[in-house]
Structures are given as C-alpha cells and as structure tokens.
Homo-oligomer: A and B are copies of this chain.
Amino acid sequence: MEVSWQPGMKMDVNAPMCPSRGVLEHVTSRWGVLILIALKERSYRFSELRRHVGGVSEKMLAQTLQTLERDGFVLRDAQPVIPPRVDYSLTELGEEAAAQVAALGRWTERRTEQVLKNREKYDEART
C-alpha cells in the first residue's frame, strides 16, 4: 500500500504514489480547467485565449499550456510566420478531458448561487 507505483499496477487515485494523482491535478488545476473548457469550444491563438480566460497571466498560460501539451491534451501548431502565429487545440484525449471538466464547469455555474446561500447560513449559524 505504501509501496511506490510500478508499471502494470492498477490506477487508483486513492493511492498516494499513483501517477493518476498527478494527471488529475493537471486537469483540475486552477488554469488547466479553464483552458480545457475554452479549447473545447474552438481552437484559440495564444493571446486570444489569454483574453478569453479572464485573469490569467502570460506566464501561467504558457506554463499550463505546456503541461497540457506534454500530457497529450493540447495540440500546439506554431506557424513560422511573422508575426508569430500559434494555434492551440485539443487532441482526442483532450476532448475527452474537456468534456468532463466542462460538465463540471457548467454544473458549478448553475449551483453557485445555492452554494453562496449555504455559506451565509453556515456563517450566521455560528456567530
């Protein structure tokens, strides 16, 4: 149980050393979620995506796109033109991931008002 993960072992997010933990953290990361949701609609250029995903810095956008590309979720198409043009889109695997997080995102938007009410109740109950 406390043994580190080995190839062939069953993937289990409850096991501390399982690599699926890391994958899950990439997908559910602060900017990862929003980027996947954005790219699900359509492909974006870098600064276009930056404008779409409110509040993301250039650094974090570049960094997050890189980890998503490395994991095989995002496809990076850099055309050698001037000014540089780079298009980001989802791979098939990325589409699958994005479908999951987009569902979660929509659910969150629908239920946020309820959550806000719950917090108020919780807070006033202990004052």
Task: Please list the residues of chain A having a beta carbon within 8 angstroms of any beta carbon in chain B.
Answer: 1, 11-16, 18-20, 23-25, 27-30, 33-34, 37-38, 52-55, 69-72, 93, 96-97, 100-101, 103-105, 107-119, 121-123
Contact = CB atoms under 8 A, between A and B. Distances in A.
Given A14-B38, A16-B54, A108 B69 contact: no
A71 B115 contact: yes
Contact of A13 (B105, B115, B119): B105
A116 B70 contact: no
Given A13-B33, A13-B37, A101-B104, 17 more contacts: A1-B54, A11-B110, A12-B109, A14-B38, A14-B52, A18-B112, A19-B112, A23-B112, A24-B105, A69-B122, A70-B119, A70-B122, A71-B118, A72-B114, A72-B122, A96-B111, A100-B107
Chain A at the B interface: SS class: helix
A24 to B, nearest CB: 5
Nearest to A99: B107
A104 B28 CA distance: 9
